[in-house]
Amino acid sequence: MPHTASLTVLGAAESGPLNEYLPVLMLLLFSISFAALNIIVSWALGKRGQRNPDKDSAFECGLPPLESGRQRFSVKFYVVAMLFIIFDVEVVFLYPWAIVYQDLGWFAFFEMLLFLGVLFLGWAYVVRKGALDFSSRPQPGRIPGGPQR
């Protein structure tokens, strides 16, 4: 059996704390090389086409594109993103609690009932404010027949 220096190092590294993540790193390298290979192969073997103005313009069902491709979009998408951050952080708080739930018993149950109650109140407030209403039905404050933004 070969006792080379490098193999001894490999044997000793078994107890390292990051050893668990070595396979993840290997899979990461695999997936990156898979993605890169796809792009490179298609670039190298693909047919070389000729450029023309029509091909270089944004697709708009065969018509020349009007205005910029980067249009404005509804502010509601930003609201959804912000609400996501708030609620997602609260979900993260639930995880460690769930892991030790059976050790803590009824205490943990009522503590989290309180927490979820607050979370639910916040949710009800958001719903009542109409922050999640995406339908374009007429709403108070909106000019009838005006531009639907």
Partner 1 sequence: MNEFFAEYPLVFTMATTLAKIVLFTHIGLILAAYMPWVERKVSAWMQDRVGPNRVGYAGLGQPIADALKFIFKEDPVPGHVDKVLFTLAPALTVIPAILVLAVVPFAPAVSLFGQTAQMAIADLSVGILFVFAFSSLAVYGITLAGWASNSKYPLIGGVRSAAQMVSYELCLGLSVVGVFMAAQTLRLTDIVELQVDGYWNMFTQPIGFLVFVIAAFAETNRLPFDLPEAETELVAGYHTEYGSMKFAMFFAGEYMAMFVFSCLVAVLFMGGWDVPFMSNESFAALGNWGAALGFVAFLTKVLLFLFFYVWVRFTIPRFKFDQLMHLGWKVLIPLSLLNILWAGLWNMPS
Contact 97, 105 (CB under 8 A): no
Binding characters for partner 1, 78-117, by CB under 8 A (x = yes): --xx-xx--xx--xx-xx--xxxxxx-xx--x--xx--x-
DSSP letter, residue 72? -
| CA-to-CA separations, 112 to 28, 87, 104, 122, in angstroms, rounded | 37, 15, 11, 15
Measured from the CB atom, the residue of 42 and 148 that comes closer to partner 1 is 42
Q: Which of 114, 133, 138, 142 binds partner 1 (CB under 8 A)?
A: 133
Q: Pick from 57, 118, 138, 142: which binds partner 1 (CB under 8 A)? A: 57
- One of 58, 63, 75, 143 touching partner 1 (CB under 8 A): 58
Say how many residues make up the chain: 149
Question: Does 18 sit near partner 1 (CB under 8 A)?
Answer: no
Which residue in 5, 18, 49, 149 binds partner 1 (CB under 8 A)? 49
User: 18, 47, 140, 145: which one contacts partner 1 (CB under 8 A)?
Assistant: 47
How many CB atoms lie under 10 A from the CB of residue 103?
8
Sign of CA dihedral 131, 134, 140, 144: positive
